[in-house]
A and B are shown apart, each in its own frame.
Chain A
Amino acid sequence: MNHWKRLAPGLLWMAGLPLLSQTHSVPSTAAASSTGQQSRSATAHAAHPTDGERVFEQNCSRCHNAPQGFSPRISGTVVRHMRVRASLSKEDEQALLRFLNP
């Protein structure tokens, strides 16, 4: 019980964060804009987001920023690596591959 009392300040602080975020959210179409590349591409796709874009934003972007670009020679390798690391289904893997190789 004592531990829960000590945990309480942290949990309350955590519960209040949604209000903070609402105040500072960005009212634009730039989804998951952690880098400039993401912003530009995401804006272009925002009106009709593809499955691959959804997979990217919901899985890859959660942990890290996008690289500033890479060779198409390794795009299949990158996506397979992400399938394992981010626990993607095969369908999500294929959607992501189409997104990276339109």
Chain B
Amino acid sequence: MCALSFIPHAAAQNTPLISGGVGFFTSTNGGNTTYTPVLSPVLVAPLGQHLLVESRANIIESFFPKGSGQTGYTSSPFIALSYLQLDYLATPHITAVTGLFLTPFGTYNERLSPIWISNFQDAPLITSLGTMTGAGVGEMLRGSAVSTPKFSIDYAAYFSAKSTNMQFNAERSTGGRVSIYLPEKRLEIGTSYGRLLEGEQTNYFGAHVWWLPANSSFKLRSEYAHGTHSQGYWIETDYRLSRFGGAETLIGRLEPVFRWQQTFRNSPDPSDGLPSANTQRTDFGLDYHLPHEVRINTSYARQFSSTGNRNVWETGIVYRFLFPTWKGKE
């Protein structure tokens, strides 16, 4: 949501904005092809000096083979809120969040899940560990505990009530995340904890390492998550080829991406979202950044598991938009 250039000399204004992405994706998994148009709008509206309303929705229509020997395709609509939250900027280091918010466990759910950010169509296999339903309904405190040129520490802690409402689906749970970032090394290390406060009262632990070296287009992101019945990790790298003549050349717009992930099943649990057997998956991708905020993503994945090996081919095109909701002050 940040931009570096082309901002005219003018006082900053707080006009509400509409942002987000619109995309069209195809996925061929084990021989079956699915077509998925997606609209994912974000609304951000400041209220006074200390309040902010934020929301993101996902509007999806999936077209997939009928199966069971039938020919042709059928479709299924899906409309859901990712988050709808009121933020109160309480102090320079504390923001209180109320409402439906993304669960602060690991990094993927909060940072990389938007379609205009993620390098791959599919979320990592371990995404559901510790994030519960992906969102919580309740209260969260977050912010920057310390920020210096040498290091910074940020935190998030939350409590969620149980909600069975279709648009506000959440488990009764608590947890949080702490990260330390070393600017000189461009290294971030963090740990997460989550506890489901119903059923088995499951505990989840997570850790993440991000490294984006200075003066390089190379990025490394990785996460590990552990639950009672399963655990796993993913490692993702990408490298924008902008060193070959600049980021806006034919070659410089290319971005090879790679992801390696493994999951381990300790005991059966159909509800934790991980594969039922130990699984290894390797994703090779190539993104192409077109002008005007358009990106093309392509990838091939090979997944190995005792329940069967499979190939996954994916392509997609995403347009990212960002504009004011109205004209605002001159």
A40→B5 contact, CB < 8 A: yes
B89→A83 contact, CB < 8 A: yes
- B240, chain A: closest CB distance, angstroms: 6
A41 to B239, CA, bound (A): 20
- B289, chain A: closest CB distance, angstroms: 8
Of all chain B residues, the one with the shortest Cβ separation from A30 is B215
A62 to B8, CA, bound (A): 25
- B32, chain A: closest CB distance, angstroms: 29
Of all chain B residues, the one with the shortest Cβ separation from A89 is B144
Contact residues in A for B217 (Cβ distance below 8 Å): 26, 33-34
For the complex, is B155 an interface residue (Cβ under 8 Å from A)? yes
Of all chain B residues, the one with the shortest Cβ separation from A86 is B154
- B30, chain A: closest CB distance, angstroms: 24
A71 to B7, CA, bound (A): 7
Q: How many A-B residue pairs have CB under 8 A?
A: 234
Of all chain A residues, the one with the shortest Cβ separation from B216 is A25
A54→B149 contact, CB < 8 A: yes
A26→B110 contact, CB < 8 A: no
Residues of chain B from 145 to 198 with CB closer than 8 A to chain A in the complex: 147, 149, 152, 154-156, 181, 183, 186, 188
**Which range contains the number of A residues in contact with the other chain?**
35 or more
For the complex, is A48 an interface residue (Cβ under 8 Å from B)? no
Of all chain B residues, the one with the shortest Cβ separation from A51 is B149
Task: Give me the 10 closest cross-chain CB pairs, A-B, nearest first.
Answer: A90-B92, A60-B2, A87-B154, A76-B12, A69-B6, A73-B328, A89-B144, A25-B216, A36-B248, A41-B4
Q: Could you list which residues of chain A lie within 8 angstroms of chain B, going by C-beta atoms? A: 3, 6-7, 10, 13-14, 17-18, 20-21, 24-42, 53-54, 56, 58, 60-92, 96-97, 99-102
Q: Could you list which residues of chain B lie within 8 angstroms of chain A, going by C-beta atoms? A: 1-17, 44-46, 52, 54, 87, 89, 91-93, 95, 97, 110-112, 114, 116-117, 142-144, 147, 149, 152, 154-156, 181, 183, 186, 188, 209-218, 220, 222, 231, 233, 235, 237, 239-240, 242-243, 246-248, 260, 262, 264, 278, 289, 291-293, 320, 322-324, 327-329
